[in-house]
Structure 1
Amino acid sequence: MKRKWMTMMMAWILVLGMITFQNSAQAKEVIDKTLSDSITNMVDEKLAGAEVSITIRDGFSGEILYDYNALTAVKPASNMKLLTTAAALDVLGKDYRFTTSLYTSGKISNGVLKGNLYLKGEGDPTLSIEDLQRFAKELKAKGIHKVDGRIVGDDKWFDNDLLTPGIWVGDESYYYAAPISALTTSPNTDYDTGTIIVEAIGTAVGDLPSIKVTPHIGDLQIVNEAGTVEAGKPNTVTIERLYETNKIVVSGNLPIDKTKREWVTVKHPTTHTLSMFQEVLAEAGIEYSKDKVFQAATPKSAQLVAKKQSMTLEELLIPYMKLSNNGIADILVKTMGKVKNHHGSTEAGLQVLREYGNSINLNMADWQFEDGSGMSHENRVSSLTMSELLFKVQGEDWFTTYFNSLPIAANTDRMVGGTLRNRLKDPLTAGKVYAKTGSLTGVSTLSGYLEASSGQSYIFSVLVQNKSGASTAIDEIVKEIAKEL
């Protein structure tokens, strides 16, 4: 009976293999006849002068069905997150949670803490002002109404390098280039860590606009140099933090019927978080005797008061990958470095990415990178290598989590469609492309999985640099793949 069952199984496997081979052969034939010419013509007409690398693979076998300059190394932009996320799921696990803890030192006497408060961070990108308020309530519950000591931030989980290599000076004010420390906060559930939201609102013509800050100004300063003008006039307001300062300057003209909102980076996430915590304590009725905040390690003798754990990594991947959150990518890199190599630095974390790539037999010599988010213009990878990663991760036990984190074409739900919610709306591609976008100055990339009109699944990677506005041409290429296959 066992021999008969084995014979039947071998026959079925052979049939499946023949079907797969036949489908692959048919796809190859279609590509040879039509798709190859179509894509080549599109590249020549719409991406003239650009550096382009394209690879299409069979989703089941990994066979290369089409390539155009497949070995050409191109800036991946946020396609870099495809490797970072794979490594994070492998090293940290989908159930990993970030922790932030509140400690006290010294003794409590008559409601006075004769010692310090320690806020210890381990890189949680979801820490919010509401969490700090809960910490204040925990202190009140212990009967503490005054701190006769310092408010100390312990951010030693990571190193002191706040910015990854390759961040341009002109980008430092903006959320996509936020500084990273182990003790940081986010203004909302997009988790743009290390930022605040500044909104200018038109008031009376001739007056300064009113300014709203979410969640808290902390140690930053607003310099309002803007003016409110009549409705219908151009909105020229800019909101920027001056380089290497705590000053945010609001300038330009704001029509009375308009608003201007900007996510602005803080200068130092740790000191900003501590300044916010000071205000939270004051609002809770807890006095403190020393205004100046400090950064230091939590002593081993300190007493734990409260702890906050983030959502799981699996849950965090949704806002991170759908919205292409650079800050979370940078935090994941440093966290991997800390967990695996005992050093919370970008360099240590990038070594973990290389180790993961080697573990699945990627040729890591084909990857050049100096961050995990894709912000650096020094990063390079080819479409051949990127598509190889996408093929090999399909065998990982966490692949479903990885796949579900990818933006889905034309799905208008922000946390489903993400950065593809307004792209690839044609019936051939809507809801059938699961892919990671990438964008830098002169760079557009898209890599992922698609279900073609035949029902077969394919892996694709289209990387373009030295061309502005290339995303439209990329979408047309992907649509052509879906149609012809």
Structure 2
Amino acid sequence: MTSRRTFLLSGLAAMAGSAALANAPTVSLRPVSRRNSIFAPGAEGLKALLAQADLPGEVVCAVADVNSGRLLESHGAGQALPPASVAKVITALYALETLGGSHRFETRILATGGVSNGVVLGDLILAGGGDPMLDTDDLAQLAAALKAAGVRSVRGDFLVWDAALPTIRTIDPGQPDHLGYSPAVSGIALNFNRVHFEWKRAASGGWATTMDARTEKHRPEVSMARMRIATRSTPVYTYAEQSGTDNWTVASKALGKGGSRWLPVRNPGAYAGDVFRTLAGAHGIQLGAARQIRTLPAAQLLAQHQSPPMAEMLKAMLKYSNNLMAEMIGMSATAARSGRPSSLKESATEMSHWATARYDMPGIRLVDHSGLGEESRMTPLGLLSALIAADRSGQLKPLLKPFDLRDAKGRPIKDHPIKVAAKTGTLNFVSGLGGFMTASDGTELAFAIFSADEATRASIPRAERERPRGAKGWNRRAKALQQQLIERWGAVYGS
């Protein structure tokens, strides 16, 4: 990634931090004698390993030789379970085939009525083009470019067009309102559609709060998201929308001495418009309050910003498992293939049909492009089919990040003889892993592992889905089983 995006990508890493902790297995099995039952070739060895794990719920898996495509062993490989973020692998392949690795999204500043002597005679338009990585620094560069073009004032209105994609208030309505990994989606996004909430102790004994669109270089405060401190213990946050404004409250007893948190934005067009208005004002260009439009009129181009190329964005999406990137990129691919989708589910259904036809993926049924929705389903056999085909075309493996095998203390084993490149997926009581492994003798294998305790997941109240009781321990055990399976396959099929 380019250096100017370091701040936001570090934010992605922070958002993934709790999941990363859950990903660390608690045990590491070194290859041992095949007399050990869990390393015995054939179905009995696999059954012994799964029985030893004693993981509540369902576990399905499959492993195949990449070169021949031959299935080596499996358990329940035709059974469909929630893939969680492993679904992003299919989104990446969908975008690469439909849009191409060099595709870039454009965010434009347009003017109607022409420009005369530095005055925009009509309206000024901030037009979103589906860029999921647009940040405040990018808007600041657009504001500077507008001034450099000689614009001093705008006679008409300030408009925001975000209708290149449908507006969806949250990726997964089943998630608590305050979780930053389920923001709104539309044709424009800013800072991954998150607003920064910070609180500090005030001299008066209360708290001073700010809501801003910060990056490393800029920190403009916003008016479209507001926070009120409420005297209570729980719930920690409440949310309500009123006239396009995100209205939050936070429990006073949860604040302590100070802190900060990224909260989701529910009205992306208003957010981007609010921030651009402030940044343009810093250059002496005074704009009225942003008004959103659904139809883009004919207009003159004044300035534009291009996203990084698609291949670079997909690598970041898979590395940081960013949900908003997956949804915007996936829906943009659908729009290019068959026209603008009306909903996230419609777009995901189109992608599922594509995957079935392109990779012969039985049992795939996705409700979004990120894997956040719990109703999505995928089979290990279906994923293996896509992995092997994508590997032969050389598309996927360069985008996947290395997956560390770890010791009993959770530390990466740098000299481990098995090398893995894969995509993880984690929801409460759902864990997935799919990708490639190179055994000690150089044998290339493709594998898919899905685990889910759907009954326990279904019993979690919506308000408790950020950190439900028992989920961290279950997911840790699921990750440990994944490593055990990988080391079994390395010992049985690659040594």
The TM-score with structure 2 as length reference comes to 0.77
Q: Which residue of the partner structure matches residue 466 of structure 2? A: none
Match of 1:419 in 2: none
Residue 408 (str. 1) matches residue 407 (str. 2): no
Moved more, 69-78 or 132-141: 132-141
- RMSD value over aligned CA atoms? 3.0
Q: How far 1:217 sits from its partner (Å)? A: 4.1
1:481 Cα deviation (Å)? 2.4
| Residue aligning to 1:157 | 164
For 2:196, what is the secondary structure of its paired residue?
A: strand
Give a deviation string over 1:327-362, Cα, whole Å, max 9, x none. Answer: 111011210111111214435533542453244341
The 1:483–1:173 alpha-carbon spacing in structure 2 relative to 1, beyond 3 Å, is: same
Question: Is the radius of gyration larger for structure 1 or structure 2?
Answer: 1
Q: Aligned residue for 1:337?
A: 334
Letter in 2 for 1:459: A
- CA distance 1:367–1:33, shift in 2 (3 Å): same
Deviation at 1:425, TM superposition (A): 2.6
Contact in 2 for aligned 1:200/1:261 (Cα 8 Å)? yes
Contact 2:323–2:370 (8 Å) recurs in 1:
yes
Question: Which residues of structure 2 form unaligned runs of 5+?
Answer: 1-33, 215-219, 457-473
Question: 1:151 offset after TM fit, Å?
Answer: 0.9
Query: What is residue 239 of structure 2 aligned with on the other side?
Result: 242
Q: What one-letter code is carried by the residue in structure 1 that aligns with 2:119? A: V
Q: Which of the numbers 52, 58, 62 marks the counterpart of 1:55?
A: 62
CA separation in 2, counterparts of 1:267 and 1:388?
37
Verify: 1:394 aligned to 2:398, yes or no.
no
Q: Identity of paired residues, percent?
A: 23
Deviates more, 1:428-437 or 1:144-153: 428-437
Partner Cα separation in structure 1 for residue 66 and residue 392 of structure 2: 12
2:431 is aligned with 1:434? no
Shift of 1:111: 3.8
Q: CA deviation at 1:450?
A: 0.7
Quick one: structure 1 residues 208 and 371, their matched pair in 2 at CA, closer, same or farther if it must change by over 3 Å?
same
Residues 169, 48 of structure 1: CA spacing in aligned structure 2 closer, same or farther, 3 A cutoff? closer
What is the 5 A alignment of 1:300-315? Answer: 300=298, 302-315=299-312
Q: Does 1:270 align with 2:264?
A: no
Q: 2 CA distance for matches of 1:87 and 1:159?
A: 19
What does residue 114 of structure 1 align with?
121
- How far residue 262 of structure 1 moved from its aligned partner, in angstroms, is 2.3
**How far off its partner does 1:476 sit?**
2.5
| Distance across 1 between alignment mates of 2:417 and 2:260 | 31
Deviation at 1:388, TM superposition (A): 1.7
Confirm or deny that 1:471 pairs with 2:479. Answer: yes
Q: Which has the higher contact order (CA 8 A, sep 6+)?
A: 2
**Paired residue secondary structure (1:242):** strand
Give the SS at the match of 2:387.
helix
Q: Deviations over 1:56-92 (max 9, x none)?
A: 1112111111111111211111111111111111111
Instruction: State the distance in 2 between where 1:253 and 1:159 align.
Output: 35
Mapped contact 1:31–1:66 kept (Cα < 8 A) = no
AA matched with 2:125 = Y
For 2:354, which of 350, 353, 356 is the aligned residue?
A: 356
- Partner-residue secondary structure (3-state), 1:176: coil
Query: Secondary structure in 2 aligned to 1:134?
Result: helix
Tell me if the contact between 2:66 and 2:388 (Cα under 8 Å) persists in the aligned partners: yes
Provide the C-alpha distance between the structure 2 equivalents of 1:424 and 1:356, rounded to a whole number of angstroms.
Answer: 39
Give the gaps of 5 or more residues in structure 1: 1-26, 187-192, 228-235, 413-421
Deviation at 1:239, TM superposition (A): 6.8
SS in 1 for 2:432: strand
Q: Is the 8 A contact 2:349 2:366 kept in 1?
A: no
Residues 38 and 46, structure 2, Cα contact 8 Å, conserved in 1: no
Deviations 1:290-348 (A, max 9, x none): 43523242322x11101111100111122200011111110112101111112144355
| Contact 1:107–1:114 (Cα < 8 Å) also in 2 | yes
- State how far apart, in whole Å, the 2-side matches of 1:226 and 1:211 are: 18
User: C-alpha distance in 2, partners of 1:199/1:447?
Assistant: 37
1:195 aligned residue: 194
Instruction: Confirm whether residue 175 of structure 1 aligns to residue 166 of structure 2.
Output: no
For residues 423 and 267 of structure 1, do their structure 2 counterparts lie closer, same or farther at Cα, with a shift above 3 Å needed? same
**Whole-angstrom CA distance in 2 between matches of 1:85 and 1:382:** 18
Alignment of 1:215-254 (within 5 A): 215=214, 216-218=220-222, 219-225=224-230, 240=237, 242-244=239-241, 246-251=246-251, 252-254=253-255
Q: Which residue of 1 aligns with 2:72?
A: 65
Distance 1:203 1:274, change over 3 A: same
Deviations for 1:428-447, whole angstroms, at most 9, x for unmatched residues?
Answer: 75871111101112101111
Change beyond 3 A, Cα 1:394–1:226: farther
Higher mean C-alpha displacement, 278-287 vs 440-449:
278-287
Query: Is 1:147 paired with 2:145?
Result: no
Matched, 1:299 2:265: no
Kindly tell me: are residues 120 and 212 of structure 1, through their superposed partners in 2, closer, same or farther at Cα, counting changes over 3 Å? closer
Verify: 1:383 aligned to 2:380, yes or no.
yes
Determine the C-alpha separation between the residues in 1 that align with 2:417 and 2:250: 40
Give the secondary structure class of the aligned counterpart of 2:144: helix
- Name the counterpart of 1:281: 280
SS of residue paired to 2:441? coil
- The 1-side partners of 2:231 and 2:96 are apart by 46
SS of equivalent residue, structure 2 residue 109: strand
Cα offset, 1:424, TM superposition? 7.9
For 2:88, the equivalent position in structure 1 comes to: 81
CA contact (8 A) 1:350 1:370 kept: yes
- Give the number of equivalent residue pairs: 424
